[in-house]
Amino acid sequence: MMLSGFFRLGVWQNFFRAWRGGYTGNLEGEGFTLGGVYVIGAGKQGVLLEHREKEFGDKVSLPSVLEAVEKIKPQAS
């Protein structure tokens, strides 16, 4: 996202939401890498949830993560 990320309204909204919530974070690292969350099932279940950040501060929905985790079936030994 590089410099264009700083001009997006959603990035600033996410920044102020985190700041008001008391999140301080750190200033280490490059700061330009977007993250993501994957929930991967056992065996051949594959990916049950995939969330990739589209802009800085884009969060995954906790209920969707919990729903995906509940779908994981134990692998038979």
pLDDT digits (tens, 9 = 90+) for 31-58: 677 889 999 999 899 999 999 988 777 7
**53 CB-contact burial (10 Å; exposed 0-12 / middle 13-18 / buried 19+):** middle
Phi-psi region of 45 (alpha: psi -120 to 50; beta: other; left: phi over 0): alpha
Q: Has this prediction a pTM greater than 0.85?
A: no
The overall longest dimension of the chain from CA atoms, in Å, is 52
| Lookup: tokens for 32 | 């330009």
Q: If we measure between CA atoms, which residue out of 48, 38, 36 comes closest to residue 72?
A: 48
